[in-house]
Amino acid sequence: MTQEHAFIGRQPILNRQQQIIGYELLFRLNQEAVSAEFSSDMHAGTNVLVNTISNMGTDWLVGNKLAFINVAESMLESNFLELLQPQRVILEIVETTQPTEDLLNRLRDLRAQGFGIALDDFVLTPQTASMIEFANYIKLDIQQLGMSQVPTLSKELRRFPLLQVAEKVETKDEFTKCFDIGMDCFQGYYFAHPETLSAKVINPGYANILQLLNMLRNNAEIRDIENALKRDVALSFKLLRYINSAGFGLSCEIQSFRHAVTILGYQKLYRWLTLLLVTAGADTGTPPALLKTAVTRGRLVELLGSHLLDGQDKDNLFIVGMFSLLDVLLDMPMDKILETLILPETVTDALMEHTGIYGPFLELAEACEDPEMAEVPRLCEQLQITPEMLNRSHVQALNWVEELGV
């Protein structure tokens, strides 16, 4: 069965002024789930990761707050973590992690990259003490420890430059005691139960991801990689949303797929595709005809505008056409989708209102899908497109999509 929606749990973490500083993101199998049920730590970790960076986006999940993400040893050993934006993420090292020399070196490397480190459900032992020097946060499960043990451990940890988080604070009395002890942050049912957020998912096809991975491995020409991305609306949308995330720190808008690949680089693009491959379903869960229409529309809008526009504008025309069906594909209002992407204003104007330099070309492409084609003559005249030019562009677009094998 294909997963058509992404789900993620979110519970706030507050400071001593009871202001939210971040959210712990939790794996959820479905809307009704209240706990994490998963086949492995890696399964849970990759799902939270892909939902955070691709299906939902860090901005929508946590806004300008920190994202606390649980990571087990298997996830720490992978290179998927490098896809996250270090300045926005606190990696919660789960209590089952064994502090081997390799693991301590990995924590040192992650701290050097800018990630924050939290030690989850912390209990002080000679083994766990070796990890303290890498920690920014230590989380104490007050239910597991018992309130009688918390003051002693808290005092012991105060020797280190880190913030202490009281976990599973369930009553006002527990909050008051932890506050008086001097705990820095608080999390638990007393403040908020975890809420489950969801978003509809469109999954890139396995074949397209595999082809792109092979192309990257073989150092294919950037032009060929760009064409492969154009073949898959889900891939291209997720790529632009990932690279346009606020944490990426871009000083300019991404203007084309070529630009995106150049900015990201082959290595990071390879990692991102690998993560998608791990989490994508074998079937897309989205009607193939709908995806095909989106790609065809992208190519048609690009061709219709080619007699008046070229260069950068041609790339934008393709994006306008292909992304014009995202509201249907994602079952979300277009304005909400566009909040997750940084696109040129001319592109958003066309997608939202069919206005600006690209809007009329999109309007004409959509009119061509109407069996009556009632608006086509008026729009062709407006754009100085003859019936021959329209027919040629339409046939070329259909042939192009067939050649792509969409």
DSSP 283: S
- Among the three residues 199, 228, 249, which one is the final residue of a domain in this structure? 199
Give the pLDDT band (50/70/90) at residue 163. Answer: very high
Q: Which amino acid is at 3?
A: Q
> What 3 state SS string does 71-137 have?
ECHHHHHCCHHHHCCHHHEEEEECCCCCCCHHHHHHHHHHHHHCCEEEECCCCCCCCHHHHHHHCCE
Per residue in 165-187, pLDDT (tens digit) is 999 999 999 999 999 999 999 99
Instruction: Tell me the per-residue pLDDT of 276-313, one tens digit each, with 9 for 90 and over.
Output: 655 554 344 566 677 778 878 888 998 999 888 877 78
Q: Which residue has the higher pLDDT, 185 or 30?
A: 185
CATH number at 93 reads 3.20.20.450
pTM: predicted TM-score of the whole model, two decimal places: 0.61
**Within this chain, do residues 374 and 266 fall inside the same structural domain, yes or no?**
yes
- Of 199, 219, 242, the one marking the end of a domain is 199
8 A C-beta contact, residue 186 and residue 205 = no
Could you list the residue range(s) of the whole structural domain that residue 94 is in? 5-199
If asked whether residues 182 and 259 sit together in one domain, one would say: no
Which residues, listed in sequence order, are joined to residue 91 by a DSSP beta bridge?
A: 69, 117
d(CA 200, CA 397): 28
- Specify which residues 116 forms β-bridges with: 90
Tell me the C-alpha distance between 224 and 351, whole Å: 27
* Residue 152: both structure tokens together: 């002693």
The reported pLDDT for the residue numbered 383 is 93
Q: Which token pair is 34?
A: 């209240």
CB 188, CB 167: distance < 8 Å: yes
Residues 6+ apart with CB under 8 A from 336: none
pLDDT at 104 over 70: yes
Show the tokens assigned to 210: 């595999």
The model's confidence at residue 357, banded by pLDDT at 50, 70 and 90, is very high
Cite the DSSP H helix spans in 218-265: 222-230, 233-243, 257-264
DSSP letter, residue 344: -
Q: How sure is the predictor about 158, in pLDDT bands with cuts at 50, 70 and 90?
A: very high
Query: How far is it, in rounded angstroms, from Cα 123 to Cα 135?
Result: 14
Asked if residue 80 and residue 170 are part of one domain, the reply reads yes
Domain co-membership, 34 together with 173: yes
Answer whether 91's CB lies under 8 Å from 22's CB.
no
Report the number of distinct structural domains present in the chain.
Answer: 2
Do 11 and 53 reside in the same domain of the chain? Answer: yes
Taking CB atoms within 8 Å and a gap of at least 24, the contacts of 174-178 are: 174/142, 174/147, 177/147, 177/150, 178/142, 178/150
Q: Where among 140, 174, 199 does a domain terminate?
A: 199
Q: What is the mean pLDDT of residues 33-42?
A: 44
Same domain, 151 and 279: no
> What integer is the mean pLDDT of 20-34?
64
110's tokens: 């992650």
Give the β-pairing of 185-186 and 163-167. parallel
Which residues fall within 8 angstroms of residue 14, CB to CB, at 6 or more apart? 20, 21, 185, 186, 187, 191
Residues 137, 229: one domain? no
Give me the pLDDT at residue 401, please.
Answer: 74
Higher pLDDT, 275 or 360: 360
Q: Give the pLDDT confidence score for residue 29 in this predicted structure.
A: 46
CA 247 to chain centre: 11
C-alpha–C-alpha distance, residues 211 and 223, integer Å: 14
**Is there a single domain that holds both residue 67 and residue 130?**
yes
* Confidence bin at 162 (pLDDT 50/70/90): very high
Do 212 and 186 share a domain, yes or no? no
Q: How far apart are CA 199 and CA 166, in angstroms?
A: 30
Lowest mean pLDDT among 2-11, 100-109, 129-138, 239-248: 2-11
- Please state, rounded to an integer, the average pLDDT across all residues of the chain: 80
Sign of CA dihedral 24, 88, 86, 336: positive
Same domain, 26 and 111: yes
Lowest mean pLDDT among 33-37, 104-108, 164-168, 401-405: 33-37
Q: How far apart are CA 206 and CA 193, in angstroms?
A: 36
SS3 38: coil
Question: What is the model's pLDDT at position 58?
Answer: 56
230/94 same-domain check: no
Q: CA-to-CA distance for 325 and 233, rounded, in angstroms?
A: 9
- CATH number assigned to the domain comprising residue 219: 1.10.3210.10
pLDDT beyond 80 at 404:
no
Same domain, 125 and 274: no
CA-CA distance, 112 to 116, in Å (whole number)? 10
Q: What's the Cα-to-Cα distance from 275 to each of 268, 280, 366, 404, rounded to whole Å? A: 11, 9, 34, 24
CB of 362 closer than 8 Å to CB of 321? yes
pLDDT category of residue 11 using cuts at 50, 70 and 90: confident
